């Protein structure tokens, strides 16, 4: 059963270009029963949002900037979030912003037992990222759209659109595998993925050009993968183990 989500968007801080992909991403984690976007709709820089709000059933919330240099949008969004929390109509929140001002809000919602997803640009400050259960970069959704288009014509997507996985990140994965591994060193990949997310909310295989964790792990020579039969007969269970040789990155 899908959890009910309240999607709150900081219109002043998020580009509108990939709102369709953003809403499709949110739908993976729950049913967005409340969808609101905040901003001063008298300002010309928000005009691009107006074209996509009706298409995605997002309700615009007007918030005038009462004082120069102060962000009234943030305050309105925070107040609404707390009202929604106390209404007990949702099970979680999706906060769409690249602004660190929502760090305390994300923390408070999680303290209340809410699931909190964050979506923002890669410039988002780390305190807001780690305050969420999971944080998704908008750039990932943009790359996925471009790749889909290129595959329908020719595969021209540049690897430069994605981050390169570093030795530090490989060590992070290896440590996480070791945390959940059995006595023989094997770890169920589902458990590894869950723990990676808890340790680092913005960890996402799509940051590195892979749609799933399995192909990302498989591309790193430091690890070996084993597929085992599921006792329930549904599908293969994937286990991963750290090799003894020095971690190296395979070519794609």
CATH of the domain at 225: 3.30.420.610
**Residue 152 domain-assigned?**
no
Q: Is residue 251 a part of any domain in this protein?
A: no
More confident of the two residues 171 and 156 = 171
Which residue's structure tokens are 């192909």?
215
- pLDDT for position 48: 83
Which is more confidently placed, 222 or 229? Answer: 222
Domain boundary at 122, 146, 170, which? 146
Expressed in angstroms, the distance from the first to the final Cα of the chain is 37
In a domain, 137, yes or no: yes
Instruction: List Cβ neighbours of 147 (8 Å cut-off, separation of 6 or more).
Output: 157
Q: How far apart are CA 73 and CA 96, in angstroms?
A: 13
pLDDT score of 14: 85
Residues 138 and 168 in one domain: no
Q: In the prediction, which pLDDT does 105 show?
A: 96
Dist CA 198 CA 202 (whole Å): 9
Would you state the pLDDT for residue 150?
44
pLDDT at position 128 is 96
Which residue range(s) make up the domain with 54?
4-146
| pLDDT for the residue numbered 107 | 97
Q: Assess if residue 252 is contained within a domain.
A: no
Looking at the DSSP bridge assignments, the partners of residue 242 are 223
Verify that 117 and 212 share a domain, yes or no.
no
3-state secondary structure of 116: strand
Position 82 pLDDT exceeds 90: yes
Quote the tokens at residue 156.
Answer: 């021209």
Q: What is the C-alpha to C-alpha distance for residues 94 and 116, in angstroms, rounded to an integer?
A: 6
Q: What is the pLDDT of residue 70?
A: 47
The verdict on 69 and 94 lying in the same domain is yes
Rounded-to-10 torsion of CA 99, 104, 109, 110: 100
Residue 155 lies in a domain: no
Residue of higher predicted confidence among 178 and 47: 178
Q: How far apart are CA 229 and CA 56, in angstroms?
A: 41
What's residue 69's pLDDT? 45
> For position 57, which CATH number holds?
3.40.50.1010
Q: From CA 135, how far away is CA 129, in angstroms rounded?
A: 6
| 187 touches 241 (CB < 8 A) | yes
Using 50, 70 and 90 to split pLDDT, how confident is the model at 50?
A: confident
Q: Are 90 and 97 in contact (CB under 8 A)?
A: no
- DSSP strands (E only) in 71-177: 92-96, 115-120, 134-137
Q: To the nearest whole number, what is the mean pLDDT of the chain?
A: 85
pLDDT by residue (tens digit) across 91-149? 999 999 998 999 999 999 999 999 999 999 999 999 999 999 999 999 888 766 555 44
- pTM given for the model: 0.81
């Amino acid at each position: 059963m899908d959890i009910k989500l309240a999607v709150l968007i900081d219109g002043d801080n998020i580009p509108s270009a990939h709102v369709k992909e953003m809403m499709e991403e949110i739908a993976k984690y729950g049913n967005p029963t409340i969808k609101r976007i905040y901003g001063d709709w008298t300002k010309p820089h928000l005009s691009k949002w107006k074209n996509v709000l009706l298409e995605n059933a997002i309700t615009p919330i007007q918030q005038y900037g009462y004082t120069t240099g102060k962000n009234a949008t943030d305050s309105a969004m925070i107040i609404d979030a707390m009202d929604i929390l106390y209404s007990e109509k949702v099970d979680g929140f999706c906060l769409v912003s690249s602004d660190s001002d929502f760090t305390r809000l994300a923390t408070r919602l999680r303290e209340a037992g809410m699931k909190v997803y964050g979506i923002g640009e890669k410039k988002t400050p780390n305190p807001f990222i780690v305050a969420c259960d999971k944080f998704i970069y908008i750039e990932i959704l943009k790359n996925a759209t471009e790749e889909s288009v290129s595959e329908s014509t020719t595969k021209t997507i540049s690897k430069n659109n994605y981050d390169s996985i570093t030795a530090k990140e490989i060590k992070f994965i290896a440590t996480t595998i070791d945390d959940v591994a059995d006595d023989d060193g094997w770890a169920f990949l589902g458990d590894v993925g869950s723990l990676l997310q808890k340790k680092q909310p913005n960890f996402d295989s799509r940051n590195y050009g892979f749609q799933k964790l399995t192909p990302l792990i498989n591309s790193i020579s430091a690890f070996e993968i084993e597929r085992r039969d599921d006792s329930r007969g549904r599908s293969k269970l994937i286990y991963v183990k750290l090799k003894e040789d020095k971690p190296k990155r395979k070519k794609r």
